Each structure stands twice: as C-alpha cells, then as structure tokens.
Amino acid sequence: MKGMVVFDYEAQYDQARIQMSKWIKEGKLKTKEDVYEGIDNFHEVFLKLFSGDKLGKLVLKIIK
C-alpha cells in the first residue's frame, strides 16, 4: 500500500483548479451540498459536522 501527500502535488494546484472548474461547468464533475436555512437550525447543523450525517459541503444560510 502506498499513501499520498497532497502537498507533493502543490506545483499542479493551479492546473488542477482550472481543469476541475471546467469539468464542473461541463457537468462532468458534480458537487454535493447539504443546505439548511435559518439560524434556528444552527445546533442541528453544527452537530452534523461531527457526526458525518451530511453529503458533501454543509451550508447554513442565515441571510436571504
């Protein structure tokens, strides 16, 4: 088994960012978000950070 250290590829970050942005725009790479609204949901959303009970990025909208 061989591990990987992300900093080994630091020189390629800009190239990767450009390519991944292109894939997202083309629909080839999809992002996942769990979006909640309202400060009243803060406690529930905060706990999801540590329980793993989320899909992708966890967002709490408090301003419309």
Q: Is residue 37 domain-resident?
A: yes
Q: Does residue 64 surpass a pLDDT of 80? A: no
| Structural domain total, the chain | 1
Q: Is residue 19 domain-resident?
A: no
Q: Is residue 9 domain-resident?
A: no
Distance between CA atoms of 25 and 21, rounded to whole angstroms?
6
Q: Read off the pLDDT band of 12 (50, 70, 90).
A: very high
Full-model pTM: 0.55
The string over 20-51, giving b where at least 16 C-beta atoms fall within 10 Å of a residue's C-beta and e elsewhere, is eeeeeeeeeeeeeeeebeeeeeeeebeebeee
Q: Is residue 49 domain-resident?
A: yes
Q: For residue range 18-54, what is the model confidence (pLDDT) as tens digits?
A: 999 999 999 999 888 899 999 999 999 999 989 988 8
Q: Does residue 1 surpass a pLDDT of 80? A: no
Enclosing domain of residue 40: 31-64
